[in-house]
Amino acid sequence: MNEERAKSEQEAASTAAASGIPYSDTRELAFPTEMPEGITRELLEEYRVAPLHLYNPQSLELGLTGKTDRTKLPELQAKAPSVKLTFKTISDPGYQTISNQLFYQEFTKEREGDFATFGKKLAIAAPKQAFQDIAQLAFWLGSSDIHIEPQTDSARIRFRIDGTLHHITNVAIQAYKVFLSDLQTKAEVTWGSDKPQSGRISFEL
């Protein structure tokens, strides 16, 4: 694993040399967990950048990889006009590590068994992000399967943990319909069929 990471860092350094955006090794980095106003985890994920240094509330250094669409960086800056953004080149594993830890920290209460705000997060999340949040929390809690159960005005979400179904939260029926539609499309489930169907979706947590 160390050899693979070293190779990734070498590739990132080469990308930095070619692009003119300086390289940063994130293996020993203590990245910031507080973000300037207007900079959210979802925004960072959308543009595939990771926070490296917060110099002050108006100055943030971000890491980008060879997979980052650099033509969209001015668009990102426009969404946070009060924050000065600077950039460094980092490796893909470096980006993923920071992104995962930011996500992990955001769900501290849920990991401790407090699900009071989880439904609110799902209600405002993009369809793709909503199900990934559900799947991620299920993974952290050691759940073997997820039950999403539509009711009259909401959908109940339950996780099976150690053989027992545990109620996690309810989401508004409209939010449920939106991310259900997204799941059906991605799983290639046919609309309007009266027959039972199986679908498959795969993504990394």
pLDDT, one tens digit per residue, over 112-170 is: 777 877 877 777 777 777 888 888 889 888 899 999 999 998 899 999 999 999 999 88
Return the axis-axis angle of helices 2-19 and 92-106, rounded to nearest 10°: 110
Give the tens place of pLDDT for each residue, 3-25.
899 999 999 999 999 999 999 99
- Could you tell me if 64 and 85 are in contact, meaning their C-beta atoms sit under 8 angstroms apart? no
179: which 2 tokens? 């991310």
pTM summary value = 0.65
**CA 70 to CA 109: how far, in whole Å?**
35
The predicted structure's pLDDT at residue 105? 79
Give the tens place of pLDDT for each residue, 33-85.
788 988 988 899 899 999 999 999 899 999 999 999 999 999 999 999 999 99
**CA 12 to CA 66: how far, in whole Å?**
8
**CA 156 to CA 154: how far, in whole Å?**
7
**CA 130 to CA 19: how far, in whole Å?**
35
**CA 64 to CA 69: how far, in whole Å?**
9
